[in-house]
Amino acid sequence: MSGRRACVNCGATYHIEHVPPKKEGVCDTCGEALVLRDDDKPETVQHRLDVYHEQTQPLIDFYSERNVLKSVDGTVDMKDVFTAICNILG
């Protein structure tokens, strides 16, 4: 996540390794400078991971042990995620 870069002018997003702009630090679409948003800074990402391990993982373990945990693939299209959740909820 800390490799993400955003254009504050047009909202385009990039990743320094996976989706780099043609010219480093410059938006392909509008030519503005790319920035590292506060919520993508390494210390912010680390904090989010700490909170995940402290607060979310125990819930996953709790429901998983009781065989009532349902999972959806959150990497697919948003409407497919929504459909999957609705199917689980009935």
The residues binding Zn ion (CB under 5 A) are: 7, 9-10, 12, 27, 29-30, 32
Concatenated DSSP letters for 9-61? TT--EEETTTB--SSTTB-TTT-PBEE--GGGSHHHHHHHHHHIIIIIHHHHH
Residue whose CB is less far from Zn ion, 3 or 21: 21
Rounded to a whole number of angstroms, the minimum distance from the CB of residue 22 to Zn ion is: 12
Rounded to a whole number of angstroms, the minimum distance from the CB of residue 69 to Zn ion is: 40
Residues 41 and 2 sit within 8 Å (Cβ to Cβ): yes
Residue whose CB is less far from Zn ion, 30 or 85: 30
Rounded to a whole number of angstroms, the minimum distance from the CB of residue 40 to Zn ion is: 16
